[in-house]
């Protein structure tokens, strides 16, 4: 049984190829059993294109009486490093790939770039959001936003998210 299921479609010359990524309940339980290491892995993977909820692992560990601050820090570091990976993957991107695989012209991407510059580095603070956050990190890398301010905002946003979730779980389930 799939706990999470996510489809990625890749256009080819002849048809769409669809790849399903499936995270089973058993795999989620395995991450929880690994404790802090499982939380780090879940947080890292959740910050990439893998459809995984690190919040489930974080919540489970806090309910199991793992140290609250350690959980928040481990989740933040794992998620932050996953976000950096996504940023750098975007940074390695090329205009030709956008045109070829996403069927967008350079002009369309430049319009997007102009709009993105208006919100600037603030957008990096929202890279923790499910699904869209990965796209924001990828876009910030692709558009070559300065790494240090992006990383600082990413870290602040991710820490805030895990602190809110962690303290909420600790308060209501503790």
Over the stretch 71-106, which tens digit does the pLDDT of each residue have?
999 999 999 999 999 999 989 988 777 777 767 777
Q: Using CA of residue 5, residue 46, residue 44, residue 1, what is the dihedral sign?
A: negative
Q: Residue 148 — φ and ψ, nearest 5°?
A: -60, -50
Is 14 part of any domain? no
The stretches in the chain having pLDDT less than 50 are 1-22
Is 16 part of any domain? no
Quick one: pLDDT at residue 6? 41
Is 110 part of any domain? yes
Q: Where are the alpha helices (DSSP H) in the chain?
A: 25-33, 36-46, 54-63, 68-91, 95-101, 106-119, 132-142, 147-173
Is 125 part of any domain? yes
Is 6 part of any domain? no
Quick one: pLDDT at residue 69? 98
Domain coverage including residue 45: 25-173
Quick one: pLDDT at residue 169? 95
Quick one: pLDDT at residue 7? 40
Given a contact cutoff of 8 angstroms between Cβ atoms, the answer to whether 4 and 23 are in contact is yes
Is 29 part of any domain? yes
Is 66 part of any domain? yes
Quick one: pLDDT at residue 5? 41
Number of domains in the chain: 1
Is 42 part of any domain? yes
Please tell me whether the overall predicted TM-score, pTM, comes out greater than 0.85 for this model.
no
């Amino acid at each position: 049984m799939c706990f999470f299921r996510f489809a990625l479609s890749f256009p080819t010359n002849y048809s769409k190829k669809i790849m399903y990524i499936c995270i089973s309940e058993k795999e989620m339980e395995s991450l929880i059993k690994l404790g802090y290491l499982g939380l780090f892995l879940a947080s890292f993977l959740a910050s990439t294109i893998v459809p995984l909820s690190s919040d489930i692992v974080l919540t489970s560990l806090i309910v199991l009486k793992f140290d609250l601050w350690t959980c928040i820090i481990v989740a933040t570091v794992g998620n932050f490093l996953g976000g950096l990976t996504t940023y750098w993957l975007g940074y390695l991107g090329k205009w030709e790939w956008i045109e070829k695989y996403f069927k967008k012209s350079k002009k369309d991407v430049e319009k997007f770039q102009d709009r993105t510059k208006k919100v600037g580095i603030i957008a990096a603070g929202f890279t923790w959001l499910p699904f869209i956050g990965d796209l924001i990190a990828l876009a910030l890398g692709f558009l070559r936003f300065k790494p240090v301010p992006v990383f600082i905002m990413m870290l602040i946003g991710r820490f805030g998210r895990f602190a809110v979730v962690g303290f909420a779980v600790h308060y209501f389930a503790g």
